[in-house]
Amino acid sequence: MDFANLASLMLAAWLLLGEPLLGRWSHRRLLAALAAGQPGARLRFYRSWTGMAWALAFVTALVVLAQGWSPGEVGLRWPHIGDVGRGFVDGMTGALIAGAAVGIVLSRRKRSAAPRVAGGDKVLRMLPHNRAERWGFSALAVTAGLTEEWIWRGFAAAALHAAWPQLAMLPTVVVLALAFGWAHFYQGLGGMLATALLGGLLGWLYLSSGSLLLPMLLHVLIDLRALLVPVGTGASNPQTDVQTSMHHRGNP
């Protein structure tokens, strides 16, 4: 096995094993810091994940260069309208339906009810509570939209195609979606399923258009939508965080 293939294998192993475990460990540290009332815990979390995402994207770029893949082979090109076809229409229609459904649910939510998001309390407690946190979260959302598409669609699809050149589009989308859902292990089963569905949509859009640009844009907008979830205003209150966590677990 040459160096380029070994590097791809090591990166794939990290994505499937190291990334889910690191995410869970980092998320648990955030919850512990919030429970302990540590100031700036969310901002540190956002900055840490933003830095790690760009570092992993840089490593991925080195592996892609070592493989000698062209920019087009990893989705770095303009989408070709002729290549998009039915897949693009289906993907965008699904995104619009999903976005409309979420908007309707949020608009009809009772004022006294706790906000609901995919992943439940595990995700809810990550969301920003004040202006500084919202800026930090926005930077993380943009970063995730760009780097995750580059890594989990651009590199992953190219690596999968290199390993199994005859693999059809549908099973490729399924494999990429399951891997992306598994990477969000820290969100629990509900969060992983929702993320896998999103990964399937974005994967289908990427493979249909041949470009990462549309999935990146959609991914960023979806992540930024979390800023609309009404989780609180003003300074973060650790006692409120604990009470919210207990409420979502069905405790009085």
Q: Which of 219, 188, 18 is nearest to 117 (CA)?
A: 188
Residue with tokens 């309390």: 121
Query: What is the number of structural domains in the chain?
Result: 1
Residue 117 lies in a domain: yes
Range of the domain at 58: 3-237
Helix, strand or coil, per DSSP, at residue 252 = coil
Residue 20 lies in a domain: yes
d(CA 30, CA 147): 22
| pLDDT given for residue 1 in this prediction | 73
| pLDDT given for residue 51 in this prediction | 98
| pLDDT given for residue 238 in this prediction | 42
Tens of pLDDT, residue by residue over 198-252, are: 999 999 999 998 999 989 999 999 999 889 888 764 434 444 443 333 333 333 3
Residue 7 lies in a domain: yes
Residue 248 lies in a domain: no
Residue 245 lies in a domain: no
| pLDDT given for residue 122 in this prediction | 85
d(CA 120, CA 238): 18
Q: Which residues contact 126 (CB under 8 A, 6 or more apart)?
A: 27, 30, 42, 45
Q: How many other CB atoms are found less than 10 A from the CB of residue 195?
A: 22
Residue 11 lies in a domain: yes
| pLDDT given for residue 102 in this prediction | 53
For residue 127, give both structure tokens.
């969301």
Residue 175 lies in a domain: yes
Residue 38 lies in a domain: yes
Helix, strand or coil, per DSSP, at residue 44 = helix
Mean pLDDT, consecutive 10-residue segments, the chain of 252 residues? 94 97 97 96 97 98 97 92 56 57 51 61 91 97 98 98 95 97 94 94 92 93 89 47 36 34
